[in-house]
């Protein structure tokens, strides 16, 4: 086993993060989140009386007149929020981060990095962690913003949005492993994004494995589909956990942990594959 230096891995991650924070994609991501929060602030209009809802308007439409507890009223909204964060955030993340690894390996850049006291494996792991950190920061920004708006408007303190976002983060970390492997193999942002989208689609489809297998009666093809889809994290299941937690349902850890573990193992495989590719290459 090669001894790895956490300091070096940290320094690589730091540079990746530093470069991303000044990229246009990252700016767009943060701006989008910011605009969403602004829209939410302006459109959410709750009358809270002693923790119960006297009246409310979301996006201008009256949402019933019956007096209900705020958290009960907001449950579907939280759920929707978790779904949006998960599916849209994931897509945005895939597109926004696709060029990071290929850019590090661009001619003129990779030679310089590899001549520094950085092991190739450290470069790959550091880059992966840096991208995950970007994703985490965007998530925290979004979740923090939503929580703040809710607190300001309804005097409500809740960790619900964070639960949904956490699942989105887990899913992204898994998908980015694949993106990284493809990104370093072809040194192409487009192919990296393509691989990410494919994993995304497959990840949604695996929950409907039977539907997926209905596409074809060809036996070998069905076997291939089964085998290929087996390790892919079930995105719908992850999204449902997030949405459920967002709506205040108790999280069944014995169901969630294997899912998270599976996603982590999937991510690790992608990173290891990427490391093996970079390790074997000439630059």
Piece in contact with another protein (CB under 8 A), picked from 56-64, 86-94, 104-112, 199-207: 104-112
Least separation in angstroms between CB 32 and another protein:
20
Q: Nearer Cβ to another protein, position 23 or 32?
A: 23
Binder of another protein out of 114, 137, 156, 276 (CB under 8 A): 114
Which residue in 60, 65, 107, 250 binds another protein (CB under 8 A)? 107
Spatial CA neighbour of 74 closest among 104, 42, 51, 103: 51
Strand partners, 47: 55
Binding piece for another protein, criterion CB under 8 A, among 52-60, 107-115, 221-229, 237-245: 107-115
How does DSSP assign 250-273, residue by residue? PP-HHHHHHHHHHHHHHHHHHHHH
Question: CB–CB of 19/127 below 8 Å?
Answer: no
Q: Which is nearer to another protein, 19 or 45 (CB)?
A: 19
Interacting residue with another protein among 66, 115, 211, 230 (CB under 8 A): 115
Give the separation between CA 22 and CA 49, rounded to whole angstroms. Answer: 44
Map residues 116-145 to x or -, x wherever contact with another protein holds by CB under 8 A. xxxx--------------------------
Residue 111 touching another protein (CB under 8 A): yes
- Token pair 């730091």 is found at 14
Residue of 202, 267, 261, 210 lying closest to 235 (CA atoms):
202
Phi, psi torsion values for 233, nearest 5 degrees: -60, 140
Contacts to another protein by CB under 8 A: 5, 7-8, 11, 14-15, 18-19, 22-23, 106-112, 114-119, 282-283
């Amino acid at each position: 086993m090669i001894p790895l230096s956490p300091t070096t891995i940290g320094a690589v991650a730091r540079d990746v993060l530093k470069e991303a924070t000044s990229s246009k994609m990252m700016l767009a991501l943060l701006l989008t989140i910011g605009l969403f929060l602004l829209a939410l602030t302006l459109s959410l209009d709750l009358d809270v009386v002693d923790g119960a809802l006297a009246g409310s308007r979301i996006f201008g439409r009256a949402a019933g007149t019956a007096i209900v507890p705020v958290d009960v009223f907001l449950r579907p909204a939280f759920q929707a929020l978790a779904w949006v964060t998960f599916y849209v955030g994931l897509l945005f993340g895939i597109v926004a981060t696709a060029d990071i690894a290929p850019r590090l390996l661009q001619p003129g850049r990779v030679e310089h990095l590899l001549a520094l006291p950085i092991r190739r494996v450290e470069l790959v792991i550091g880059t992966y962690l840096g991208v995950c950190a970007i994703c985490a920061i965007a998530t925290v920004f979004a979740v923090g913003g939503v929580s703040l708006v809710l607190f300001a408007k309804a005097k409500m303190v809740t960790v619900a949005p964070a639960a949904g976002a956490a699942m989105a983060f887990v899913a992204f970390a898994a998908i980015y492993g694949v993106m990284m492997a493809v990104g370093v193999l072809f040194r192409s942002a487009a192919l990296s994004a393509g691989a990410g989208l494919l994993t995304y689609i497959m990840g949604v489809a695996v929950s409907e494995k039977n539907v997926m297998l209905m596409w074809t009666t060809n036996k070998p093809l069905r076997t291939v589909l089964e085998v290929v889809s087996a390790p892919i994290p079930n995105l719908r299941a992850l999204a449902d956990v997030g949405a459920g937690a967002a709506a205040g349902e108790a999280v069944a850890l014995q169901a969630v942990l294997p899912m998270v573990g599976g996603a982590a193992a999937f991510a690790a495989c992608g990173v290891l594959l990427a490391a093996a590719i970079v390790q074997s290459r000439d630059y």
